[in-house]
């Protein structure tokens, strides 16, 4: 689906197509762009009070419980922020809700917002999402309530920042202890994504075996996208072919 050149949000025309021409309401990263291959430097204006484009911290308080990086043999692509179930979660910048979805094996109830500035933010493990796909939101608008849904050990917000699908360490933008953005702008180069090599190494060196229980509607490709592995890899690990019909309730080894 091609988006219009501009959209009107609260009397302001926002050039969304200037950053993305793909509008996908199901896949977190449909862009197929490896950040390590970027040739240019991109300067993103995060907010502009003079232009009535502001920012808001995603929670009333932002105590970090887990950082971006290697964690337990796998890579953690966001920052975990402590909260109580039912706490308000806010849109970080002006934008449009691109995804409102359930992911039982990972994010739980989660929302992805595409922002006018070219970034996208993801809010995971909500107890209740409150903004529907296609809704225009301003920075600070309530988009959901905190929780511990999906793959979660307790109530927290899993918060991601992405550029064309590529995760960026949120702490490149935010000073969470001081409850503010580090600056009005963010410079994006391929160097921001050099961690990919370490992320792949972290995943391959982890010794834990992971399994997925097949649910109605599951496909090997869909399961693979959820866990970041290929359908053929899952098939090989389980002694099946990529054309095998999956039986509901069957446990598949993922890694």
Would you list the domain boundaries of the chain? 7-197, 211-253
Please tell me the CATH code under which domain 211-253 is placed: 3.10.350.10
Among all chains, which residue has been given the structure tokens 């307790």? 154
The three-class DSSP label of residue 113 is strand
Rg of the chain over Cα atoms, rounded to whole angstroms, equals 18
CB 158 within 8 A of CB 124: yes
Question: pLDDT per residue over 167-225, tens digit each?
Answer: 999 999 999 999 999 999 999 999 999 999 888 765 434 344 577 888 888 898 888 77
CATH of domain 7-197: 2.70.70.10
pLDDT of 249: 85
Beta bridge partner(s), residue 82: 156
Q: What pLDDT score does 2 carry? A: 36
**Which segments of the chain have a pLDDT < 70?**
1-20, 201-209, 228, 255
**Whole-angstrom Cα distance, residue 84 to residue 145?**
9
What does pTM read for this prediction?
A: 0.74
Q: What torsion, rounded to 10 degrees, do the Cα atoms 149, 27, 197, 92 define?
A: -60
User: Which residue reads 């934008």 in tokens?
Assistant: 95
State residue 14's pLDDT score: 52
* pLDDT reported for residue 143: 99
Q: What pLDDT, on a 0 to 100 scale, did the predictor assign at position 1? A: 36
- For residues 124 and 137, what is the distance between their CA atoms, to the nearest angstrom? 18
């Amino acid at each position: 689906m091609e988006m219009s050149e501009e959209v009107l949000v609260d009397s302001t025309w926002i050039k969304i197509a200037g950053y993305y021409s793909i509008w996908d309401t199901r896949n977190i990263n449909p862009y197929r762009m490896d950040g390590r291959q970027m040739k240019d430097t991109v300067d993103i204006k995060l907010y502009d009070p003079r232009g009535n484009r502001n920012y808001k911290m995603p929670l009333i308080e932002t105590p970090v419980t887990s950082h971006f990086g290697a964690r337990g043999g796998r890579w953690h692509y966001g920052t975990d922020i402590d909260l109580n179930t039912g706490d308000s979660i806010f849109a970080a910048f002006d934008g449009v809700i691109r995804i409102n979805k359930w992911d039982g094996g990972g994010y739980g109830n989660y929302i992805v917002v595409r922002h006018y500035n070219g970034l996208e933010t993801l809010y995971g493990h909500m107890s209740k999402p409150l903004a529907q796909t296609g809704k225009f939101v301003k920075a600070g608008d309530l988009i959901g309530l905190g929780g511990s849904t999906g793959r979660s050990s307790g109530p927290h917000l899993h918060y991601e920042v992405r550029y064309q699908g590529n995760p960026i360490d949120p702490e490149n933008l935010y000073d969470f202890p001081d409850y503010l953005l580090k600056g009005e702008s963010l410079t994006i180069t391929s160097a921001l994504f050099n961690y990919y090599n370490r992320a792949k190494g972290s995943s391959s060196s982890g010794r834990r075996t992971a399994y997925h229980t097949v649910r109605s509607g599951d496909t090997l490709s869909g399961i693979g996208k959820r866990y970041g592995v290929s359908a053929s890899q899952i098939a090989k690990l389980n002694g099946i072919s990529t054309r095998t019909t999956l039986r509901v309730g069957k446990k598949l080894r993922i890694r």
